[in-house]
C-alpha cells in the first residue's frame, strides 16, 4: 500500500492539488474569523455600514424602482463584495456594505455622490449624452493603451447611431479642437477660483511648467465651460470680493444657482455669495485646480483645460482630422484621466477612478437628485451564530454525502479519496471567495459545490469500476471526463446570466458555483482520477530482466 501512495504522490496532478490546498489552508489560518484581515464576511455574518441616500423629493414606486436598479448596477461594479440596496419609504434608499470592507465604504460614498449624467461638448455644442451610451460596451482600457495616451486610467465606450450622428455634426470642421467630456457637469452655477488654484495645475504631463498667465487660464477655463444656454462663468475670488451688489457677477440666474468654490476660501467670500442669493457648493482645494495642456494645430496659440474635478470635466482629447469630416463611422470613444499619489498608491487610485467611471456610466443617470446621510453601523442579524450554523450545515452535508458514498462502495480506498477531494475543494473555494466576501449566497454556493464535487467523483469511480475486459483504466477515465466536461460547460453557461445580471444578491452564488466547476475540471477531478486509478490497479510492477523468472 505504501508503494501505491508513493506513486500517487509523484503524480503532478496530485502535487498541484496538494500545493494549492496548502496555500489555501495557510491563507485561511492567517486571515480566518469574521473580522479577519483577508478573509471577508458579509453583512449577515459580520455586520455592516449603512449609507442613507436621501432623495431631493418623494418619488412614486416606478421611479424608486429605477433608482434602486441604477444604484445596484453601479454597486455591481465592485464584483463579489456584498452590497445591499433597498428603498425606505418614498424618499430614501439604504445602501449597506460589510464592515470588513472599510475601504469599500469610501468608494461607495464617492460612487453614490454622483448623479451620473454624461455629456461631451465640442466648441460649446453638445456632442454625446448619457442616453447615447451603449452600456454593454463600456469597459476599462488596458493600462498599456492608457499609458500611450499619457493618462493613468481610461474607459472606452460606444454610442448609439443617434449619438454618432450628433457627434458627427458637432465635430464637423473642428480639427484640433478638444472634446470636453463631463460626468455631472453643473447646469446652473458659477465657478469662483483663487488665483493660486487657477494656476496650480499649469503643467503638461505632470512635469513641464507652462508659461500660463492668469488671463490665459481664465480664457481656457471659460472656454471649457461653454454650453449653449448653460455656460458656467468663471471668476477669481478677487473678482467677487471686488464686485458691488449690483455687479453681474453677484446676480444668480435663479434661486437654485450654485457658487462652486474651495472649502478653504475665506468666510467673508462665502458670506458675500450667500447674501447675493447663491447656494454654496464647497469643494476640496485639489478639485478646484484645473490642469492644462498646450493647444495644437489650429489652436496652437491657446491653452486647453485637460481635466477639472470641480466642474465634472474628466478629460478633453483632441479631435483629429479623421473624425471631423462630417461622415459617420467613428463609434468608439474614451475617457481618460490622471491619478494621485506615487507608486502603488497611484496605481490603486487609477484603478479606483477607472472602476468608478465605469460604474457610473453603466448605471446611468439617477432620475432624481440625491444627498448622502450620515453613516451608521448595522449589526449582524445573528453574527457569529449565523456563521456557526452555516458551517454546521456544510459539515452535515459532507457527513450525509460521506455516508451515502460509504454505503454505495463499501471500501475505504474509494470513500476516503472522495471525502479528501471534497474537503480540499471547500477549503480552496473558501480561501478564494473569502478574499472578497462570503455572504449567505456564497455559502449556499459552497454547500452546493460539495454535492457537485461528489457527483463528478462518482462518475469517475463508476466508469473505472465497470470497465470492460479489454478496456484499460485510462479509457474509462477519458470517458468519465468527457461527461464531466459537458456537465461543467452546461452548468457554467447556466450561471453566466446570473453572474452578469447586475443583482449583487446572487453574484456570490453564481461566482462560487462557477469557481467550483472550474476548480474541479482543472485540478481536483484529474487528481481524483489519478488517485482512484492507482488504488484500483495497485502498485506498478517492474518488468523482470530477460532470462529471469518471476517468483
Locate the domains of the chain by residue range: 2-40+381-537, 48-110, 115-338
Choose from 103-117, 126-140, 177-191 the range with maximum mean pLDDT.
177-191
Output DSSP code: residue 341: S
H-only helix segments in 126-208: 143-148, 161-171, 195-200
Question: Residues 14-41: pLDDT tens digits?
Answer: 888 889 888 888 877 775 544 444 577 7
Q: How many Å apart are CA 120 and CA 118, to the nearest integer?
A: 7
Cell of 108: 461607495
Question: Residues 388-419: pLDDT tens digits?
Answer: 777 788 888 888 878 888 888 887 878 888 88
Question: Residues 341-391: pLDDT tens digits?
Answer: 778 888 888 887 887 788 777 767 777 777 788 777 777 655 567 677 777
pTM of the model: 0.63
Helices 525-537 and 12-31, packing angle to 10 deg: 130
- Homologous superfamily (CATH) for 2-40+381-537: Multidrug efflux transporter AcrB transmembrane domain (1.20.1640.10)
Q: How many Å apart are CA 533 and CA 472, to the nearest integer?
A: 10
Question: Residues 478-487: pLDDT tens digits?
Answer: 888 888 888 8
Q: How many Å apart are CA 438 and CA 23, to the nearest integer?
A: 19
For domain 48-110, the CATH architecture is: 2-Layer Sandwich (3.30)
Residue with C-alpha cell 418614498? 90
Q: How many Å apart are CA 81 and CA 439, to the nearest integer?
A: 9
Name the β-bridge partners of 156. 139, 334
Residue with C-alpha cell 467613428? 330
User: CA 5 → CA 10, 267, 303, 525, distances in Å?
Assistant: 9, 79, 74, 18
Output DSSP code: residue 471: -
The pLDDT value given to residue 121: 92
The pLDDT value given to residue 374: 78
Amino acid at each position: 500500500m505504501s508503494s501505491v501512495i508513493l506513486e500517487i504522490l509523484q503524480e503532478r496532478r496530485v502535487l498541484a492539488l496538494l500545493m494549492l490546498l496548502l496555500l489555501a489552508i495557510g491563507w485561511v489560518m492567517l486571515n480566518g474569523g469574521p473580522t479577519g484581515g483577508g478573509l471577508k464576511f458579509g453583512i449577515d455574518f459580520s455586520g455592516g455600514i449603512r449609507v442613507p441616500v436621501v432623495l431631493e423629493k418623494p418619488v412614486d414606486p416606478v421611479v424608486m424602482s429605477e433608482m434602486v436598479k441604477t444604484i445596484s448596477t453601479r454597486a455591481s461594479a465592485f464584483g463579489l463584495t456584498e452590497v445591499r440596496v433597498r428603498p425606505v419609504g418614498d424618499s430614501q434608499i439604504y445602501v449597506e456594505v460589510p464592515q470588513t470592507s472599510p475601504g469599500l465604504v469610501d468608494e461607495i460614498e464617492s460612487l453614490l455622490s454622483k448623479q451620473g449624467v454624461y455629456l461631451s461638448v465640442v466648441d460649446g455644442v453638445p456632442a454625446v449624452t448619457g442616453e447615447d451610451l451603449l452600456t454593454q460596451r463600456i469597459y476599462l482600457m488596458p493600462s498599456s493603451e492608457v499609458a500611450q495616451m499619457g493618462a493613468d486610467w481610461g474607459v472606452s465606450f460606444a454610442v448609439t447611431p443617434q449619438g454618432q450622428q450628433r457627434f458627427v455634426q458637432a465635430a464637423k470642421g473642428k480639427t484640433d479642437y478638444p472634446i470636453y467630456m463631463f460626468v455631472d457637469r453643473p447646469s446652473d452655477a458659477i465657478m469662483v477660483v483663487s488665483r493660486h488654484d487657477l494656476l496650480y495645475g499649469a503643467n503638461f504631463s505632470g512635469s513641464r511648467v507652462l508659461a500660463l498667465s492668469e488671463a490665459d487660464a481664465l480664457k481656457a477655463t471659460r472656454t471649457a465651460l461653454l454650453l449653449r444656454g448653460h455656460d458656467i462663468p468663471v471668476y477669481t475670488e478677487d473678482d467677487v470680493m471686488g464686485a458691488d451688489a449690483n455687479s453681474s457677477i453677484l446676480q444668480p440666474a435663479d434661486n437654485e444657482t450654485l457658487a462652486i468654490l474651495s472649502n478653504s476660501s475665506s468666510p467673508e467670500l462665502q458670506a458675500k455669495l450667500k447674501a447675493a442669493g447663491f447656494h454654496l457648493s464647497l469643494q476640496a482645494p485639489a478639485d478646484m485646480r484645473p490642469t492644462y495642456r498646450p493647444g495644437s494645430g489650429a489652436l496652437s496659440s491657446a491653452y486647453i483645460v485637460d481635466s477639472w474635478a470641480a466642474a465634472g470635466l474628466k478629460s478633453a482629447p483632441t479631435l483629429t482630422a479623421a473624425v471631423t469630416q462630417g461622415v459617420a463611422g467613428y463609434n468608439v470613444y474614451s475617457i481618460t484621466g490622471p491619478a494621485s499619489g506615487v507608486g502603488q498608491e497611484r496605481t490603486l487610485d487609477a484603478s479606483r477612478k477607472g472602476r468608478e467611471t465605469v460604474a457610473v456610466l453603466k448605471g446611468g443617470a439617477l432620475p432624481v437628485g440625491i444627498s448622502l446621510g450620515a453613516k451608521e453601523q448595522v449589526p449582524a442579524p445573528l453574527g457569529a451564530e449565523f456563521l456557526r450554523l452555516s458551517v454546521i450545515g456544510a459539515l452535515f452535508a459532507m457527513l450525509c454525502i460521506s455516508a451515502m458514498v460509504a454505503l454505495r462502495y463499501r471500501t475505504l480506498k474509494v470513500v476516503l479519496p472522495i471525502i479528501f477531494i471534497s474537503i480540499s475543494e471547500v477549503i480552496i473555494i473558501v480561501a478564494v471567495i473569502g478574499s472578497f466576501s462570503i455572504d449567505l449566497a456564497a455559502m449556499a454556493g459552497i454547500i452546493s459545490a460539495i454535492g457537485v464535487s461528489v457527483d463528478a467523483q462518482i462518475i469517475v469511480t463508476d466508469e473505472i469500476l465497470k470497465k470492460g475486459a479489454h478496456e484499460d483504466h485510462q479509457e474509462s477515465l477519458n470517458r468519465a471526463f468527457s461527461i464531466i466536461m459537458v456537465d461543467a460547460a452546461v452548468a457554467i453557461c447556466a450561471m453566466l446570466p446570473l453572474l452578469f445580471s447586475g443583482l449583487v444578491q446572487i453574484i456570490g452564488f453564481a461566482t462560487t458555483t462557477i469557481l467550483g466547476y472550474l476548480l474541479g475540471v482543472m485540478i481536483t477531478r484529474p487528481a481524483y482520477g489519478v488517485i482512484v486509478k492507482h488504488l484500483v490497479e495497485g502498485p506498478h510492477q517492474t518488468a523482470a530482466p530477460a532470462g529471469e523468472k518471476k517468483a
